Each structure stands twice: as structure tokens, then as C-alpha cells.
Structure 1
Amino acid sequence: MNPSVVSRLALANVVANGVIVVTGGAVRLTGSGLGCPTWPECTDGSIRPTPELAGHGLIEFGNRLLTFALVVVAVATVVAVFASARRDLRRLAVLSLLGIPAQALLGGVTVLTGLNPWTVAAHFLLSMVLVAIATVLWLRSREPGVGQLVVRRPFALLATGIAAAVAAVLVVGTVVTGSGPHSGDPEAGRTGFDPELVSQLHADVVFLLIGLTVALLVALAATDSPGRVRRAARDLLVVELLQGVIGYVQYFTHLPALLVLLHMAGAVLITVYTARLLWSVRGPASELPVGSDTAVLRTAPLPGAVPGAR
């Protein structure tokens, strides 16, 4: 299998996973979360929405149909990976595929529990995991295998800390959503937390994330680290700042649906760029690890030395 085909399918897999998150947000923001009130059927005895469900049923059913498109892309990616020589990509491709039925089952539980805010949160967070897996799969498919660290180990640990902070931001963000007005259906329950309090906690974790990212970027610049890592840290910081602006604007404008949807798209992008940062700290299999240049210098002949002289 041509490597470029594998890479293009892997990229399509990233896009498909991101799109279904945003469309799922549109379902919630239009109040169509229970447009199909049961699962796996839309209504008792019907796989399709009935006229009585009107537009809400069509919106929810349309989002369910997108899952099949995602399955097609994920299966094509798995087939392409297994047909290629890239054995190192197989686990990621399989995980990306297996995550879809797991996500569908969790979505079914979400519907059957009447959009319980905790199952809604779990549904979203699993989507973020699948986006991250698909992103790493795509990035790795563009290089000849995974090499050694290309930055000092403390920097790699800091990148891991940033990823942990992103996870915390996403988790707390789902609690904010579960405490706010956009429940997906007028009858859906809420967490019971004070929206203002959890929003402040969310903002505090975001400040921590931005601080860690700035610290990494400064450290990388000060030590003349590889450009791929510096670009990954820089781009993640830009996305974080844009996402922060959207978050503040939506909060002070009382959560208009369009801005909330943009904020969800921003969460997808932050997940993608965080996965890219973690990918960037290890070079391709063909690259030498950090410190290997020292060994090269030790074996290189001195200027003016006679070849073969002892």
C-alpha cells in the first residue's frame, strides 16, 4: 500500500472524528438530544424518525447516520495500514476503529438515561480520546517509524504535564457544560453545581495550561531545541489563547449557541495540537536521539589530521 494513501486516509479519519464531535454539539445546542428518544432505534418500532418528532428527530437521526460514515473511514484506514509495511501503526488504527462502537454504546446509554450530564460528559471525553489517537496515527504515518527523544527528558515530561492539564481542562469543561443551560433537551437533568463556580475553576485550569505551555516554549527557545517541537508548542499556545478568548466572550454574552459550538470546535483543535506536541518530542526512526551528536564529534577526524594516522 502506498504510504501517501495511508496518510490521506489517516487524515480523513482525524477530520471525521472531529466533525462528529461538532455535529454532536449542534444536536445538543438545538435541543435535539432526545430527538430520537430511544436507542438503537429512533422510536419504538422505527429506526427512522417519525413525523411527530419534526426537526429535532431529523437532526438527531442525521448525527447518528454520520457514525456510519466514520466507520467507513476508520475501516478503510485499518485496511490500508494492514496492507502497508507499517506494523507500528496497526495498534493505533485498530484502537481508532474499536473506539467507534464503544462510543456508539455510550451514546445509547446517554439517550436511555435522558441525557444524564455525566454520561454526556463521558461521551464527549471519549470522543476527545479518539481524536487524539487519530491525530497521532496520522502524524506517525507521515514519518518512517518512531525514533528517540529529540529534546531533553525534562522537556518531554513538561509536554506530558501539558497534556495532563489539557485533560483536566476538558474534564472541568464538561462539568461546566453539564451545569449550564444547554442540556440538549428541556427535560434533561443538570449536575447541580453552581455554574459560576465551576466556570471559575475551569478558567483557573486554563490559566495553568497556558502558563505551562509558555514555560515550555521559552525553555525550548532558550536551548535551541528542534524546530518541530518549538512549532508544535507555539501552535498549541495560539490555539489555547484563541479558545480562551472564545470562552470568555461566550461567558459574558450568556452562552449564545454559535459561540458554544465554536468553543467545542476549539476543544477538538486543542486536542489535535496537544497530540501533535506529544508526537513532536520523538523524531522519526531515521533521526539520531538527543546527545548523539556528541558521539559523532568524538569519532570525526580533527582538522588537518592525516587519514589513517594514529
Structure 2
Amino acid sequence: MSQTSAGVPARQSNSRQPATGRLIRSLAVASLVANIVIVVTGGAVRLTASGLGCPEWPLCTADSLVTTPEMGVHGIIEFGNRLLTFVLTAIAFATLFSVWRLRAERRDLWWLSIGLLAGIPAQAVIGGITVLTGLNPWVVGLHFIVSMLLIVAAVVLVNRAWLSPEDLAVRHAPLAGRTLRPLLGAVGVLAAITVVLGVVVTGSGPHAGDHGAARNGLNPDLMTRIHVVPVYLLVFTLAVALYLVFRRVTDARLRNAVVLVTVVVLAQAVIGYVQHFLHLPIALVALHMLGACLLTAAAAQAVFVGFARQVPGGDTVPAAAAAPVD
């Protein structure tokens, strides 16, 4: 590895090849995409009042594994979402098998793959409890939060899968300096609080997943006002973080991560305000759910890039100019 005159390892170019094969990298990306897609389709189940389209679990009805004509379009929507679990399972198993031969030297990929696979039966059980409790809003919320955790794990898996041999051989100081790291930590915490409070707001709102499903009994307007507090704090924190990463030349990976999460937060804020004042139209609520997934992924990416000592990709700027922001 080349060094600068000060003896600091120079940043490698983006031509470095990842240590893992294309299959592993593709499956890591597929896992991230699939975990986001199944959240969106689960949202479609709730927004179309199809949450009890299959009123039993694990069967669709007491006598049938699949939906029946008598159950109509709601049964088709709910059963279709259940079928996507098998797609997610296939991707998870394929990922696990693809890293099998590397499990000794790449225990990070191995355990992340196991975690993503283990999350599927856990989600299936929570989904079953959701159905058996008549779409209890707190159980539905837990279902969503576990999905967010799986998205975070998938983001880490994607990053770790793209590490090059040079990245694996050297543990650099975090790309974010002493001043920026607390801000990125706050971004992660505030994003998590925002998502959790969004789940509570959803549980108090009109889209219950079924016309007879209970709500959590909280005041929707009050919960919405509480929900926006961490959003305001998140926007302020990101404004300071943006100032720091653009104050001087820093690693492009860190700049891009902070810019990405900022764009997602602002887009989510706009969608959230519009859907509130338009009285929660289904299309905007679905878009807001997708935005929650993207916010989770973007925040996880920013925290990973800022804190990790092994980050995929390289920067072409000199090492001295690419020093962490203090």
C-alpha cells in the first residue's frame, strides 16, 4: 500500500476489487431490496383493509393453506404478501450458502447472514400473532420495527460484502472525526425514535388493516405533534453535520452518506406534512412507509460509514485532505 510523505497510508482508488464474489455482493443487495419490498407490500395489505384477508395462521383459512374464491381480493392481497416471505427466505438461504466457504475468514458475513435468515421465522411468528390478535396495533408495530432492524442488518451486510482485500487488511481510524461522530450517533438515535413514534402514530390512525380492527386509543393529532419533534431535531443535526463535512475536503463516502440521509429526511418530512393535511390518502401513506424504510437504510449507512474502521471503496483525494472531520 502506498504512503504519503508523512507515512500515512494513502487512500486507494475506486478500482480496488471486492474480496467477495459477485454472487455474494448481489445477494446482499437483493436481501436489502427484498426486506424493503416486503414492508411496502405489508403496508399495502394494511392500507387496503386486507389484514385479515387470511383470517387464520399458518393456514389461510381453517381448511385451506391458500386463499379461496370466497375471500375475494382481500384474501389475494394478504396471501400474496405471505408468499413474498418465501422469496425472502430463498434469498436468505442463498446468501448463507454463498458465504459458507468463507465462514472461517469472514465471520462478519456469516453471522449477518444467519441473523437475516433468523429474522424471517421471527417475523412469521409475529405476523401470526398479529392475525390471531385481530391486528392488535402494538403487535403490528412490533412487526414493522423488526423489519427495520433487518434492513439495518442488510445495510451492514452490503457494506461488508463490498470490502476489498486492502480494506480488510487495514483498520483505519473512523472516517468521521471526534466532532462529527456524536452528530452521526445522534442521527441514528433520532431516526430510530422518529420511526418508532411513526409506528405509534399509525396505530392511532384510521388505516387499521381491517374495518373492525382496534386502534391503540391515543390521540392521533397529539401523537403526530410528538412525532415531528425528533424530525426537527434530526433536520438540525443534519444541517450541522452537512456544514462539517463540507467545511473542508473530506472523504467522499462520508459526504455522500450524510447528503443521502439529509435528502431522505427532507423528502419524508414533506410527504408527512402533505399526507397529514390531506387526511392520510392511501397513496401518500404508502409512500411514507417506503420513506421510513429508506430513512432507516440511509441512517444506518451514515452511521456505518462514519464509525466503521473498514469501509468499502476508496477516495481519490490525497490522504492529508481526506482526514476525518474534527
TM-score norm. by structure 1 comes to 0.89
- SS state at 2:171 partner: strand
Moved more, 217-226 or 46-55: 217-226
Find the aligned partners of 1:30 and 1:286 in 2 and give their Cα distance.
Answer: 41
1:14 equivalent in structure 2: 32
Counterparts of 2:311 and 2:186, CA distance in 1: 24
Q: State percent identity of aligned pairs.
A: 47
Contact kept in structure 1, 2:50 and 2:74, CA below 8 Å? yes
**Worse overlay, 165-174 or 272-281:** 272-281
1:152 CA displacement: 1.4
- Secondary structure of the structure 2 residue equivalent to 1:42: coil
**Structure 1 residue 222 displacement after superposition:** 2.4
Change (3 A) 1:48 1:165: same
Q: 2:146 aligns with which of 115, 126, 137?
A: 126
* Residue of structure 1 equivalent to 2:257: 232
Residues 238/180 of structure 1: CA separation in 2 closer, same or farther (3 Å cut): same
- Residue from 31, 49, 54 that aligns with 1:31: 49
Give the alignment partner of residue 212 of structure 1, picking from 219, 234, 237.
237
Matched, 1:203 2:223: no
How many Å separate the matches in 2 of 1:235 and 1:139? 15
In structure 2, relative to structure 1, the CA distance for the partners of 1:59 and 1:211 (3 Å cut) is same
Show the counterpart of 1:301.
none
- TM-score normalised by L of structure 2: 0.85
Instruction: Point out which structure has higher relative CO (alpha carbons under 8 A, 6+ apart).
Output: 2
CA drift at 1:97: 0.8
- Greater helix fraction, Structure 1 or Structure 2: 1
* Unaligned ranges ≥5, structure 1: 295-310
8 Å CA contact 2:23, 2:98 repeated in 1: yes
Residue identity opposite 1:266 in structure 2: G
> Does residue 60 in structure 1 map to residue 78 in structure 2?
yes
Single out whichever of 212-221 and 269-278 deviates more from structure 2: 212-221
CA RMSD of aligned residues (A): 1.9
Question: Of the candidates 257, 268, 276, which is equivalent to residue 282 of structure 2?
Answer: 257
1:163 to 179, 188, 202: 188
Shift in Å, 1:286: 9.2
> Which of residues 226, 246, 255 is equivalent to 1:221?
246
The answer on whether the counterparts of 2:20 and 2:162 sit within 8 Å (CA) in structure 1 is no
Q: Return the index of the structure with the highest Cα Rg.
A: 1
1:83 counterpart (101, 104, 108) = 101
Structure 2, unpaired ranges of 5+: 1-18, 321-326
What letter matches 1:51 in structure 2? Answer: P
The aligned length equals 290
1:212-271 Cα offsets, whole Å, 9 max, x none, are 111112122225432211110011100110111111111111100001000001111111
